[in-house]
Amino acid sequence: MKQNGQAVDVVIMAAGKGTRMKSRLPKVLHRLAGRALLQHVVDTATGLNARRVVVITGHGAADVEAGVVHPGGGMLQFVRQEPQLGTGHAVQQAVPALPDDGIVVVLSGDVPLTQADTLRALIDACGGDRLALLTIAFDDPTGYGRIVRAANGDVQAIVEHKDASEAQRTIREIYSGIMAVPARLLKPWLAQLDNKNAQGEYYLTDVVKFAVAQGVPVVAHQINDPVQVAGVNSPVQLAELERAHQQRAARSLMEQGVRLADPARFDVRGELRCGQDVEIDIGCIFHGSVELGEGVKVGAHCVIANARIGAGAVIHPYTHIEGGFSEKDRIEVGSGALIGPYARLRPGAKLGEEVHIGNFVEIKAATLARGAKANHLAYIGDSKVGERVNYGAGSITANYDGANKHTTVIEADVHIGSNCVLIAPVTIGAGGTVGGGSTITKDTPPGALTVARAKQISLSNWKRPEKKK
Ligand code: UD1
Ligand code: CA
């Protein structure tokens, strides 16, 4: 993004400890909606088309640096802050990485839900020659830096709660921790910071005083959506923000026509796209990228990751669909398919139209063609299953010999009885039937009944052993 020809460079402060999380994991790596807090902020910066994204790390730096990805490529840069002497000191560390000609946007790695539009408006307010602060009014501003204004309304200073007078503490407008400022103005101000304050820290917020002294206009861009400036300091706050985010996600889906049985019992941890007339019952979780075609119904308590579910398919309750990110591992469920209850589809399950998968059936890396059915208690892995195959209860493909995985091919119109073991590599010829209880080790001819089990015998003069007296 450019403002009057000026590029935007983002600084994300993420060096703080996050003591109140009481966790070994650095705070900014805790997840909201399935993504690390810091990843949300990096993604927002990417959405601004930032020229550079500089992340200030300190506590748990190596983990934090390894814990985020930048889809945009090379502009993500980490700078370490050791020790952590305050927010001003944090941004000082970024100075060598910031070109003089840009607008610097300062964000925090623990404030995940700021919208790019809000930041664009803040950058507009900065305009390349002003200091723009993102502010909000709180009924309880305890703990925040207060926006101190002159009688004419001009912003004069940010005073931290611990340094504020009684009168200043009654000010409800607070600094969100987010600002936009031209680099050429910011750099000399940073060089003037001191730590003569209640916390003995170098406060970034002191730059406001320098701007005022120098006659640089300071503008407060005030918003009224607390979620966008909410920071995460504790597990309670993390859970509250997660709910706020999920409620928004639920609302936006319902506005597109999706029918959620209860928006309070619904979680998207990634991207969910829905066709018309989709119904989702309570307690479902969607991970990664999931597409539900027109008229899909998802029963209660399903977990669905990285999958495309075709139109009219029904996913019955307690079904686990766990696709992976790659095209190979992604799960496909054909239109009109019936899955579950209690089914498990693992990476690479590709099910055609009208396939039926019933309770306690596990499918992994297998293609099932149109109309194939496995209705109870079965395992199909590393397999190719033809159209209209009927796969009996308790039957499995033994695809793993302890070292390598092999493929099972079940051609069209085959019936596999109950409790069969198909030892791969093996092909069951089209239209054939495998008798219940068979262990199949060799290919079977098309159309034939194949039985591979001990013949049934009956001994009529047999006597049960009796207990010795
Ligand atoms: C800061 C603001 C305050 C504002 C509040 C909004 C200052 C001095 N105060 O206060 O006006 O109302 O945010 O939430 O800026 N960090 C570092 N290195 C450090 C210190 C902090 O990277 O040396 C990071 C933290 O990890 C965090 C962010 O900077 O992500 C903000 O620090 P925090 O201590 O939470 O700031 P506050 O004291 O809350
Ligand atoms: Ca602090």
Residue 419 has pLDDT above 90, yes or no: yes
Distance 25 CA to ligand 2 centre (A): 19
- Cβ of residue 57 lying under 6 Å from some atom of ligand 1: no
Distance 269 CA to ligand 1 centre (A): 27
Question: For ligand 1, what atom is nearest to the CA of residue 231?
Answer: 14
Which of 11, 12, 59, 108 has most ligand 1 atoms within 8 Å of its beta carbon, as the pocket-test mutant?
108
| CB-CB contact of 296 with 313 (8 Å) | yes
pLDDT at position 74 is 63
pLDDT at position 2 is 55
Question: What fold characterizes domain 2-229?
Answer: Spore Coat Polysaccharide Biosynthesis Protein SpsA; Chain A (3.90.550)
Structure tokens at 374: 């496995």
- Cβ of residue 416 lying under 6 Å from some atom of ligand 1: no
Least confidently predicted of 86-90, 248-252, 400-404: 400-404
Where along the chain do the CATH 2.160.10.10 domains lie? Answer: 235-450
pLDDT digit string (tens) for 269-297?
999 999 999 999 999 999 999 999 999 99
Q: What does the pLDDT average to over 254-267? A: 98
Cα–Cα distance measured from residue 172 to residue 161, given in angstroms and rounded to the nearest whole number: 11
pLDDT digit string (tens) for 68-92?
987 765 689 999 999 999 999 999 9
Cα–Cα distance measured from residue 390 to residue 375, given in angstroms and rounded to the nearest whole number: 8
pLDDT digit string (tens) for 21-46?
999 999 999 999 999 999 999 999 99
| CB-CB contact of 328 with 348 (8 Å) | yes
Structure tokens at 207: 């730059």
Cα–Cα distance measured from residue 346 to residue 363, given in angstroms and rounded to the nearest whole number: 6
The residue whose CA has the least distance to atom 1 of ligand 1 is 177
* Whole-number percent of the chain with pLDDT over 70: 98
Question: For ligand 1, what atom is nearest to the CA of residue 203?
Answer: 8
Q: Give the CA distances from residue 179 to residues 92, 134, 174, in Å, rounded to whole numbers and listed in that order.
A: 15, 6, 12
The residue whose CA has the least distance to atom 36 of ligand 1 is 87
pLDDT digit string (tens) for 428-440?
999 999 999 999 9
pLDDT digit string (tens) for 105-141?
999 999 999 999 999 999 999 999 999 999 999 999 9
pLDDT at position 70 is 79
**Residue 80 pairs with which residues in a beta bridge?**
57
Cα–Cα distance measured from residue 175 to residue 205, given in angstroms and rounded to the nearest whole number: 9
**199 alpha carbon, closest ligand:** 2
- Cβ of residue 110 lying under 6 Å from some atom of ligand 1: yes
Tokens 């966790």 appear where? 23
- Cβ of residue 16 lying under 6 Å from some atom of ligand 1: yes
Q: What does the pLDDT average to over 262-268? A: 98
- Cβ of residue 109 lying under 6 Å from some atom of ligand 1: yes
The DSSP string of 198-253 is TT----GGGHHHHHHHHT--EEEEE---GGGG----SHHHHHHHHHHHHHHHHHHH
More confident residue, 400 or 229: 229
Distance 270 CA to ligand 1 centre (A): 28
Q: What does the pLDDT average to over 408-425? A: 98
The residue whose CA has the least distance to atom 34 of ligand 1 is 16
Cα–Cα distance measured from residue 158 to residue 166, given in angstroms and rounded to the nearest whole number: 15
Where along the chain do the CATH 3.90.550.10 domains lie? Answer: 2-229
Residue 367 has pLDDT above 90, yes or no: yes
pLDDT bin (cut points 50, 70, 90) of residue 469 is confident
Cα–Cα distance measured from residue 415 to residue 441, given in angstroms and rounded to the nearest whole number: 17
Residue 5 has pLDDT above 90, yes or no: no
| CB-CB contact of 249 with 113 (8 Å) | no
Distance 17 CA to ligand 2 centre (A): 10
Residue 153: DSSP 8-state: S
Distance 236 CA to ligand 2 centre (A): 19
Q: Give the CA distances from residue 289 to residues 70, 245, 325, in Å, rounded to whole numbers and listed in that order.
A: 18, 17, 8
Structure tokens at 32: 């909201």
The residue whose CA has the least distance to atom 37 of ligand 1 is 144
Domain 235-450 sits in CATH 2.160.10.10: yes
| CB-CB contact of 31 with 246 (8 Å) | no
pLDDT at position 1 is 55
- Cβ of residue 246 lying under 6 Å from some atom of ligand 1: no
Residues acting as catalytic residues: 376
Residue 162: DSSP 8-state: G
Residue 3 has pLDDT above 90, yes or no: no
Distance 315 CA to ligand 1 centre (A): 46
Residue 49 has pLDDT above 90, yes or no: yes
CA nearest neighbour of 385 among 410, 404, 348: 410
pLDDT at position 417 is 98
Length of the chain, please?
A: 469
Average pLDDT, the chain: 97
- Cβ of residue 90 lying under 6 Å from some atom of ligand 1: yes
Residue 213 has pLDDT above 60, yes or no: yes
Task: Decide: residue 92, CB within 10 A, 0-12 exposed, 13-18 middle, 19+ buried.
Answer: buried
Residue 174 has pLDDT above 60, yes or no: yes
CA nearest neighbour of 192 among 179, 178, 206: 206
pLDDT at position 4 is 57
Q: What does the pLDDT average to over 305-311? A: 98
For β-strands 314-315 and 338-339, DSSP reports them as parallel
H or E stretch including 140?
Answer: none
